[in-house]
Every structure is written in structure tokens, then in C-alpha cells.
């Protein structure tokens, strides 16, 4: 795509083209961003450029948990403070960040890099499942928390993993499903509400 | 009369894909409007009031607002969530296969009440039928029929003569069964046993209740499945993605059974 007129200088046109490739960026946004970058102080622009280059050069995937990392194995996998008997399985690296933000999980992680979606042709072979099974065979792990998304693909993935892992004799748990904080009961769908009823807890105090 | 800005429709959600920060595009199938792509805003947030109602394989009532490019979901409520499908991988994989077939076969914005009915009935049957593969075979035959690709099973697709009660051949590219003398040199033709021909005819002519009463042995069921699948692939001119997952589960199930 090149919407720029001949009046647009070639380097600027190239920048617009590159920005347009990013997800969620349309032609107008690409132009706006390019002109913003043009007006940016040189130091800031260089900092952005080097950040992009650095991320591509230094970030790899952890050979153990498959998370994005600059040291392999990653800091979580090598942290001696963490509980090595429990692994939390998530779909994407961003999910690890969300779980770490809670400060209430001290075990290890495993990133699948996707979820099973048969319609889109994404099968178990496209996920990091073999790597997970390899970790489980060491015998150190006692519990697997399936923290895939509570949607159809995430549930399918959780069911599939359960089927594979159960014969290994590891305890398998799934994140609880129920009402979100700040939600209204009357808008809850039946599945969520049924799960929330099943998982009800005694009031303390 | 211009179309109203807001309208209501029943629909089954076929598939979804992420879009933007927290939105999704949904492919839905409706009785009166056919297949549509609609946008659901904010449904990837945990506080979304709609996301639970918009999962694939849910039958729901949708309130839609006309948008510039695609219509936007303004409200929704579940009518049927087909819960058993979500709790069993075998049922789920087959239900996703039906959703994919509908998505690939039906054109956008073309109403078809019988096909909608067929989809809903099939999802219900998959939720509780013992033999889910038989449900799929009936669904496949009905769907290709309703979409105008009825395979020829009475006379030879090559010479037009009535098929003899003997082993014949099935040639998807010729549009159905072919007799022994016409099969020479036909690409993709496979042997069609007399029993398989009878089952295919039964699927084509009889109601589901009649079909459900028939018990097939493994080899015959496999043959019927292979013929229908090759016919579907030749009509669509592509593979159906969800079949590889069904096959995988089957393989792994068989391996597991051997180990036990």
C-alpha cells in the first residue's frame, strides 16, 4: 500500500508503509504516526528504533517454559524461590504477565502459544504441548493448573491436555469460572452462572 | 422501505476471531438473513456482559445495529448453550465440524430456513446421541442436498443407466455413483460396496429417526464417511480443517485403548 503522493519524500513514504503493516493501523493512522515520528526529537526516535532492533535481536523463547525471555532459561524458570512442583499452563506470554500481577502465584509457567481451534486449522501439533509433556516426565511436577482462556478454544485445549496428562498421574486443576468483579448478575449467561453456583464459597467472618 | 437501524434475529454463532483491542468478529448463521459477519465490541474483557452469550455453538437472540461495514451486536441472550458439547471433546470436535461446513457451504446473506433448522437439530443430536458419527453423516448428506449438490445414487453418473445391485464405484468429480463399465479412467473414483450405496440412499431419502435406527459395523461406517468426505472436498475444492482434529482424537483414542 502506498497512498502517498509524489510530494511525499521517499523515506517518509517508506515509514508510512512500514507502520501500515502493524495490526490495527489503517492508512490514516499510519500517516499520522509517521508525521508524529518526524516531529519527534532525534534522541527519542533513535531510542524507539533501537528498542525495536533490540527486542528482535535479544528476545528469544525460554527452552523450558516457552515464555519470551532475554536469558535462556528465563528468570522465572531459574528462580530458586519458586515452587517447582506446580506449573500454570497459559495460552500466550501476556497471560503470564496477568498472572504475575496478582502476586499470588509462586509456581512455574508454561506457554502454549495458542489454543486449539479446529475450524481455523490450529491443532495440538501447532502448540507447545510436547514441551509441556517433556517437563512433566521429570517427575518433579505434582500439579498442573490449566489457565487457558474460559472460551470455546481454551476449554477445548484444557480438555485435550487433561486427556494427555491424566495417565501421567499429575494432579490437574482448572482456574475457577464465575462472575467477574464489577459484573451484574442479571446479565450473566447461564453457563457462567451455573459454574458460579457450583463453585460457591462459604462466607467468612 | 429502508432496513431498520436496529433489528433482532435468532442466530447460531459459528466462529469468532479477535479484532482490535478487545473486540471480536463473529460469523453467525441466522434463519432469515443467512450467514453474516458481525462485530461484537469489548467482548474479550472479563466484565463484558455479552461474551458468555456469544461463544461459538451458542443459539442466541441478537440485537444488531446496522454499521457502515458490518453490523454491531448491541445486545444478546442465550437461547440454548448446548452444554454437553462443551464438556466432551468428541462431541465438541464434531460440532465444530458442522459449524465449519455451514460456514463453507452457505453464501452470505442468503436465507435458508431448512439449513438453519438442520444445524440446530444437528447440534441437539450431537449433544445427546450415542453415535455422533451417524449424526454427522446425516448432516453432511442433508447439507450438500440443501445447497444444491445432491449426489446421484440412482443411476450411473457416467452413462445414466440404472445402477445394478452390486459393487459399483463412487466418483465425486462425476457427481455420484458410477457403474463398473463407466469407471475406467475416472479420477478419484473409489469402489462403492452395495451396502454403502444402500446407506447413502437411506441418508438421502429418510428422516433422521429412520437413519438413527440403522446400526453399521466399523468398516461400513468408515466407507460411507470416506465417500461423503471425498464428495464434500470435491465440492468445496479444499479440505475441511476440523476433520484433522476429529481424526487425531480417534487415533489417540484407539492408541489409548490399546495401552489400557
Nearest 10 degrees: Cα torsion B186, B189, B192, B196:
-130
pLDDT tens-digit profile of B98-112?
999 999 999 998 888
- On chain A, the residues whose CB falls within 8 A of the CB of B258 are none
Q: Do A92 and A161 belong together in one domain? A: yes
Nearest to A150, CA basis, from B43, B246, B241: B43
A26 touching B (Cβ < 8 Å): no
A167 is a domain residue: yes
Using a 10 angstrom Cβ sphere, with 0-12 exposed, 13-18 middle and 19 or more buried, the burial of residue B40 is buried
Q: Do A34 and A88 belong together in one domain? A: no
Backbone angles phi, psi at B64, to 5 degrees: -120, 140
A182 is a domain residue: no
- A190 vs A22, higher pLDDT: A22
A5 is a domain residue: no
B207 touching A (Cβ < 8 Å): no
Which of A148, A181, A189, A192 to mutate to test binding with chain B, by most B CBs within 10 Å of its CB?
A189
- On chain A, the residues whose CB falls within 8 A of the CB of B86 are 152, 155, 191
- On chain A, the residues whose CB falls within 8 A of the CB of B17 are 120
pLDDT for res A183: 72
The percentage of chain B sitting over the pLDDT mark of 70, rounded to a whole number, equals: 97
Is the confidence metric ipTM above 0.90 for this complex? no
Joined together, the cell numbers standing for residue B72 give: 454491531
- Supply the CATH number for residue A72's domain: 3.40.1360.10
Q: Which of A119, A189, A192 lies closest to B96 in CB terms?
A: A119
Cβ within 8 Å, pair B49-A119: no
Cβ within 8 Å, pair A183-B55: no
Q: Do A84 and A141 belong together in one domain? A: yes
- On chain A, the residues whose CB falls within 8 A of the CB of B245 are 116, 118, 123
User: How many structural domains are present in chain A?
Assistant: 2
A183 is a domain residue: no
* In the predicted structure, residue B234 carries a pLDDT above the cut 90: yes
Joined together, the cell numbers standing for residue B181 give: 463399465
Give B190→chain A minimum CA distance, Å: 27
pLDDT tens-digit profile of A125-169?
999 999 999 999 988 999 999 999 988 999 999 999 999 999 998
Q: Do A128 and A82 belong together in one domain? A: yes
A2 is a domain residue: no
pLDDT for res B188: 85
Cβ within 8 Å, pair B93-A118: yes
pLDDT for res B47: 77
A182 touching B (Cβ < 8 Å): yes
Q: Which residues, including other chains, have CB under 8 Å from residue B48's CB and lie 6 or more apart? A: B22, B42
Q: What is the mean pLDDT of chain A?
A: 90
Joined together, the cell numbers standing for residue A78 give: 531459574
B81 touching A (Cβ < 8 Å): yes
Q: Do A83 and A145 belong together in one domain? A: yes
Q: Is the pTM of this model over 0.90?
A: no
Average pLDDT of the residues in B223-242: 95
Q: Do A20 and A113 belong together in one domain? A: no
Q: Which of B52, B88, B246 lies closest to A191 in CB terms?
A: B52
Nearest 10 degrees: Cα torsion A81, A83, A89, A93:
0
Joined together, the cell numbers standing for residue B121 give: 437439530
B20 touching A (Cβ < 8 Å): yes
Domains, chain B:
6-81 (2.40.50.140), 84-259 (1.20.1440.120)
- pLDDT bin (cut points 50, 70, 90) of residue B259 is low
A204 is a domain residue: no
* In the predicted structure, residue A4 carries a pLDDT above the cut 70: no
User: In this structure, are residues A154 and A169 in contact, taking their beta carbons and an 8 Å threshold?
Assistant: no
Q: Do A112 and A43 belong together in one domain? A: no
Average pLDDT of the residues in A87-116: 95
Alpha helices in chain A (DSSP H): 10-20, 27-39, 42-58, 75-78, 93-101, 129-136, 152-165, 190-198
Domain that holds residue A72: 68-174
Q: What count of CB pairs under 8 Å joins A to B?
A: 74
Q: Do A18 and A110 belong together in one domain? A: no
A124 touching B (Cβ < 8 Å): yes
Cα separation of B57 and B82, whole Å? 7
Cα separation of B192 and A139, whole Å? 51
Say how far residue A158 (Cα) sits from the centre of its chain.
15
Residue A115 falls in which region: left (phi positive, over 0), alpha (psi -120 to 50) or beta: beta
Q: Do A94 and A145 belong together in one domain? A: yes
A107 is a domain residue: yes
Longest pairwise C-alpha distance within chain A? 73
Joined together, the cell numbers standing for residue B29 give: 448463521
Which A residues in the span 102-121 are in contact with B, Cβ-Cβ below 8 Å?
116, 118-121
- Supply the CATH number for residue A14's domain: 1.10.8.420
A190 is a domain residue: no
Q: Do A90 and A141 belong together in one domain? A: yes
Q: What is the mean pLDDT of chain B?
A: 91
User: In this structure, are residues A81 and A91 in contact, taking their beta carbons and an 8 Å threshold?
Assistant: no
Cα separation of B166 and B210, whole Å? 24
Average pLDDT of the residues in A86-101: 95
Q: Do A72 and A151 belong together in one domain? A: yes
* In the predicted structure, residue A1 carries a pLDDT above the cut 60: no
Backbone angles phi, psi at A40, to 5 degrees: -70, 150
pLDDT for res B112: 87
Beta-bridge partners for B192: B168
Q: Do A101 and A18 belong together in one domain? A: no
- pLDDT bin (cut points 50, 70, 90) of residue B96 is very high
Amino acid at each position: 500500500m502506498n497512498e502517498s503522493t509524489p510530494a511525499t519524500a521517499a523515506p517518509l513514504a517508506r515509514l508510512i508503509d512500514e507502520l501500515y503493516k502493524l495490526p490495527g493501523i489503517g492508512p490514516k493512522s499510519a500517516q499520522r504516526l509517521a508525521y508524529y515520528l518526524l516531529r519527534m526529537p532525534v534522541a527519542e526516535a533513535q531510542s524507539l528504533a533501537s528498542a525495536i532492533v533490540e527486542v528482535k535481536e535479544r528476545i528469544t523463547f525460554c527452552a523450558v517454559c516457552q515464555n519470551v525471555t532475554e536469558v535462556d532459561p528465563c528468570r522465572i524458570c531459574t528462580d530458586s524461590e519458586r515452587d517447582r512442583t506446580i506449573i500454570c499452563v497459559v495460552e500466550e506470554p501476556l497471560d503470564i504477565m496477568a498472572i504475575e500481577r496478582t502476586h499470588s502465584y509462586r509456581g512455574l509457567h508454561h506457554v502454549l502459544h495458542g489454543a486449539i481451534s479446529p475450524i481455523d486449522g490450529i491443532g495440538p501439533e501447532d502448540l507447545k504441548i510436547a514441551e509441556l509433556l517433556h517437563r512433566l516426565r521429570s517427575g518433579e511436577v505434582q500439579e498442573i493448573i490449566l489457565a487457558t482462556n474460559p472460551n470455546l478454544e481454551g476449554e477445548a485445549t484444557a480438555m485435550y491436555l487433561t486427556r494427555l496428562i491424566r495417565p501421567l498421574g499429575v494432579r490437574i486443576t482448572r482456574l475457577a469460572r464465575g462472575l467477574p468483579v464489577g459484573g451484574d448478575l442479571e446479565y450473566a449467561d447461564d453457563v457462567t452462572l451455573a459454574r458460579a453456583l457450583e463453585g460457591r464459597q462459604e462466607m467468612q467472618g | 422501505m429502508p432496513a431498520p437501524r436496529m433489528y433482532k434475529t435468532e442466530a447460531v454463532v459459528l466462529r469468532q476471531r479477535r479484532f482490535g483491542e478487545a473486540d471480536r468478529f463473529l460469523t453467525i448463521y441466522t434463519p432469515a438473513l443467512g450467514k453474516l459477519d458481525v462485530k461484537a465490541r469489548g467482548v474479550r474483557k472479563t466484565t463484558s456482559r455479552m461474551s458468555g452469550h456469544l461463544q461459538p455453538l451458542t443459539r442466541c437472540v441478537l440485537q444488531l445495529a446496522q454499521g457502515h461495514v458490518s453490523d454491531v451486536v448491541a445486545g444478546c441472550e442465550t437461547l440454548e448453550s448446548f452444554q454437553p458439547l462443551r464438556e466432551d471433546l468428541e462431541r465438541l470436535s464434531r460440532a465444530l465440524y458442522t459449524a465449519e461446513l455451514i460456514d463453507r457451504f452457505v453464501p452470505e446473506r442468503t436465507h435458508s430456513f431448512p439449513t438453519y433448522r438442520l444445524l440446530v437439530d444437528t447440534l441437539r443430536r450431537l449433544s445427546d446421541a450415542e453415535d455422533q458419527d451417524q449424526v454427522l453423516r446425516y448432516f453432511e448428506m442433508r447439507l450438500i442436498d440443501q445447497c444444491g449438490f445432491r449426489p446421484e445414487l440412482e443411476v450411473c453418473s457416467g452413462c445414466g443407466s440404472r445402477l445394478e445391485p452390486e459393487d459399483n464405484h463412487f466418483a465425486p468429480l462425476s457427481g455420484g455413483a458410477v457403474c463398473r463399465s463407466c469407471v475406467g479412467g475416472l479420477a478419484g473414483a473409489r469402489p462403492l460396496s452395495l451396502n454403502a450405496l444402500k446407506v447413502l440412499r437411506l441418508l438421502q431419502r429418510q428422516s433422521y429417526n429412520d437413519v438413527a435406527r440403522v446400526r453399521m459395523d466399523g468398516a461400513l461406517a468408515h466407507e460411507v464417511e470416506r465417500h461423503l468426505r471425498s464428495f464434500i472436498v470435491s465440492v468445496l475444492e479444499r479440505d475441511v480443517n476440523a476433520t484433522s482434529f476429529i481424526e487425531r482424537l480417534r487415533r489417540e483414542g484407539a492408541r489409548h485403548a490399546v495401552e489400557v
